[in-house]
Structure 1
Amino acid sequence: MKKLFLIALTTFCSTYSFGQSKNTISFQAEIVNRNGDVIYIKDTKNKTIKEIKINDKGVFKDTFKIEKDDFYMFFDGTEYTQLFLKNGFDLKLKMDAKQFDESIIYDGKGAAENNYLAQDAIKNEQINPEKLVALSEDEFKKMTEEKKLTEETTLDKSGFDKTFIEIQKRNISMNIKGLKQYYNESKAAQKLNNTIAPTFNYVNHKGGTTKPEDLKGKYVYIDIWATWCGPCLKEIPFLQKIEEKYHRKNIEFVSISVDVKKDFEKWKKFVADKQLGGIQLFADNDWNSDFTKSLSINSIPRFILIDPSGKIVNADAEKPSSPKLQEVFDKLLN
Structure 2
Amino acid sequence: MKKITTVILAGVLSVSAFAQKKYVTFEAKIDNKNGEKLYILGPNKYKKEFVLNKSGVFKDTLNITEGMYRLDDGVEGTSLFLKNGMDLKLKMDAKMFDESIVYTGKGAKENNFLAQTALAEEQYNYPELLKADETAFTQMATEKQQADLKRLADAKLDAAFTKLYTAEIQGSMMGLQQYYKEEQAMQKMNNAPSPTFNYENHKGGMMKLEDLRGKYVYIDVWATWCAPCRAEIPYLKMVEEKFHGKNIEFVSISVDTKKDYEKWKKFVTDKELGGIQLYADNDWNSDFIKAYGITGIPRFILVDPKGNIVNANADRPSSPALTTLFTEILK
Give the letter aligned to residue 21 of structure 2: K
Equivalent residue, structure 2, for 1:15: none
Equivalent residue, structure 1, for 2:10: none
- Aligned match of 1:118 in 115, 119, 123? 115
Equivalent residue, structure 1, for 2:276: 278
Identify unmatched segments of 5+ residues in structure 2. 2-18
Q: CA deviation at 1:235?
A: 7.9
- Is 1:174 matched with 2:175? no
Equivalent residue, structure 1, for 2:193: 197
- Is 1:143 matched with 2:140? yes
Give a deviation string over 1:105-160, Cα, whole Å, max 9, x none: 32221112112212221222221123212433222222323333443355456543
- Is 1:298 matched with 2:302? no
- In 2, the alpha carbon distance for the partners of 1:325 and 1:77 equals 31
- In 2, the alpha carbon distance for the partners of 1:190 and 1:104 equals 38
Q: CA deviation at 1:90?
A: 1.3
Give a deviation string over 1:94-115, Cα, whole Å, max 9, x none: 3343333333332221112112
Equivalent residue, structure 2, for 1:25: 24
Percent identical residues: 41
Equivalent residue, structure 1, for 2:285: 287
- In 2, the alpha carbon distance for the partners of 1:131 and 1:170 equals 25
- Is 1:216 matched with 2:213? yes
- In 1, the alpha carbon distance for the partners of 2:73 and 2:167 equals 26
- In 2, the alpha carbon distance for the partners of 1:313 and 1:33 equals 41
Cα 1:91/1:143, change in 2 over 3 Å: same
Indicate if the aligned counterparts of 1:257 and 1:286 stay in contact, CA closer than 8 A.
no
Q: CA deviation at 1:68?
A: 0.6
Q: CA deviation at 1:330?
A: 4.6
Cα 1:92/1:323, change in 2 over 3 Å: farther
Larger deviation: 175-184 or 317-326? 317-326
- In 2, the alpha carbon distance for the partners of 1:157 and 1:237 equals 33
1:47-196, aligned counterparts within 5 Å?
Answer: 47-56=46-55, 58=56, 60-156=57-153, 158-193=155-190, 195-196=191-192
Equivalent residue, structure 1, for 2:41: 42
TM, length-normalised to structure 2:
0.72
Q: CA RMSD in A?
A: 4.1
Q: CA deviation at 1:51?
A: 0.7
TM, length-normalised to structure 1:
0.71
- In 1, the alpha carbon distance for the partners of 2:326 and 2:31 equals 36
Indicate if the aligned counterparts of 1:39 and 1:54 stay in contact, CA closer than 8 A.
no
Give the letter aligned to residue 85 of structure 1: L
Cα 1:138/1:242, change in 2 over 3 Å: closer
Give the letter aligned to residue 42 of structure 2: D
Indicate if the aligned counterparts of 1:40 and 1:50 stay in contact, CA closer than 8 A.
yes
Indicate if the aligned counterparts of 2:127 and 2:315 stay in contact, CA closer than 8 A.
no
Equivalent residue, structure 2, for 1:251: 248
Equivalent residue, structure 1, for 2:15: none
Cα 1:323/1:46, change in 2 over 3 Å: farther
Give a deviation string over 1:59-94, Cα, whole Å, max 9, x none: x35131223111111223332111111121112333
- In 2, the alpha carbon distance for the partners of 1:164 and 1:150 equals 18
Give a deviation string over 1:166-218, Cα, whole Å, max 9, x none: 2111211122123223333333333433x123343646666688454x54322
- In 1, the alpha carbon distance for the partners of 2:196 and 2:213 equals 13
Give the letter aligned to residue 151 of structure 1: D
Indicate if the aligned counterparts of 2:195 and 2:292 stay in contact, CA closer than 8 A.
no
Identify unmatched segments of 5+ residues in structure 1. 2-19
- In 2, the alpha carbon distance for the partners of 1:146 and 1:236 equals 25
Indicate if the aligned counterparts of 1:204 and 1:210 stay in contact, CA closer than 8 A.
no
User: Which fold has the larger relative contact order, with Cα–Cα distance below 8 Å and residues 6 or more apart in sequence?
Assistant: 2
Q: Which has the larger radius of gyration?
A: 1
Equivalent residue, structure 2, for 1:7: none
Give the letter aligned to residue 128 of structure 2: K
Indicate if the aligned counterparts of 1:203 and 1:210 stay in contact, CA closer than 8 A.
yes
Give the letter aligned to residue 293 of structure 2: S
Cα 1:105/1:135, change in 2 over 3 Å: same
Give the letter aligned to residue 140 of structure 1: F
